[in-house]
Amino acid sequence: MKAGISVEVNGSAKSAAVEPRTLLVHFLRDDLGLTGTHVGCDTTNCGSCAVLLDGRPVKSCTVLAVQANGKKVTTIEGIGTPERLHPIQFAFWKKHGLQCGFCTPGMIISAYALLKKNANPDDAEIRRALSGNLCRCTGYSKIVESVKYAAKLQKKGKVEFSVGPRRHKKAESGEYSGESW
């Protein structure tokens, strides 16, 4: 028997009938088409499925869709878009914090949650906050560097960026920033 759920996803109200066993990640990907949330392991190990649930990072392969009923979910699609990158996304691009990109949505969600709590994390705090997110490509140093750079951008009040030709230079110089944080 299906259960009715209502969830606010990236600011939009969504209602659906789901099997009680449906995982949140499958609801997001299969029912809502939000495929930016990845499934790496399906066993709570890799963090590639991380989303924010009422502002807290969770592994959405470990949460049932019915547990999100009445709550707010933010996926990577709610953080930024290709045209209007969030500074964390811009920082990962600029500082080479990704290679294949599979882990990146989860990394960015975890980094986002960290920077909301701690605007100026040191290396150890960043590594601790991202310890539930595995990356097979980068060796993590560039990811840590990206998060530190994102913190710097956020401190300057930069909100969104585009990475079209030459625009990143404008972003760094302050000519290409969005509305205030």
Q: What residues make contact with ligand FES under the rule CB under 6 A?
A: 39-42, 44-49, 59, 61, 98-103, 135-138
Q: Which of 3/39 has CB closer to ligand FES?
A: 39
What pairs with residue 18 in β-bridges? 3
Of 116 and 136, the one with the shorter C-beta distance to ligand FES is 136
In the complex, least distance from residue 175 CB atom to ligand FES, rounded to whole angstroms: 30
Q: How far is the CB of 141 from ligand FES (least distance, A)?
A: 12
Q: Which of 76, 121, 116, 78 is closest to 98 using CA atoms?
A: 76
Q: What is the spatial distance between Cα 37 and Cα 127, in angstroms, rounded to a whole number?
A: 21
Cβ closest to ligand FES, residue 145 vs residue 159? 145
Task: Give the sheet arrangement for strand 12-18, strand by strand.
Answer: 12-18, 3-9, 72-74, 50-53, 56-59
- In whole angstroms, the minimum distance from the beta carbon of 132 to ligand FES comes to 8
Strand partners, 112: none
Q: How far is the CB of 179 from ligand FES (least distance, A)?
A: 30
